[in-house]
Homo-oligomer: A and B are copies of this chain.
Amino acid sequence: MSTATAEKVDDELWSAIGDPTRRRMLDLLLVEGGGTATTLSQQLPVTRQAVAKHLGVLDRVGLVRATPAGREKRYRVDDAQLARAVAQLASVGSAWDARLRRIKRIAEAIQRAQQD
């Protein structure tokens, strides 16, 4: 299993989507179906170079892929990889959720026991 205390699986993926700027970039790329460092930077509060670095990170973990077109470099989201990332989020979320429920159950059991 892997739902236990271990999530060393894809720390890289996590740190990639852990950055707020990168999350917004993925959002923009999804909404507009692609973009370049320049077009993205125009809709973000950071410079083109910062965006370029982030695109490099996202590319390295496979969340986006680049296609040079003339003098510009167009990026688009890799659907499969993003789906994997979403699964990771859901996995961690549900793991925590399960533990919270379990704790709540135990707490209620103690409550009952103390009423004897």
Chain A contact residues, CB within 8 Å of chain B: 5, 7, 11, 14-15, 18-20, 23-24, 26-28, 30-31, 33, 79, 82-83, 85-86, 89-90, 92-93, 95-97, 99-100, 103-104
Q: Evaluate contact between B104 and A79: CB separation under 8 angstroms.
A: yes
* Cα–Cα, bound, A97→B103 (Å): 30
A40 to chain B, nearest CB (A): 12
**A93 and B93 in contact, given A15-B18, A23-B7, A79-B103 (Cβ under 8 angstroms):** yes
* Cα–Cα, bound, A24→B14 (Å): 13
Q: Evaluate contact between B89 and A30: CB separation under 8 angstroms.
A: no
A109 to chain B, nearest CB (A): 14
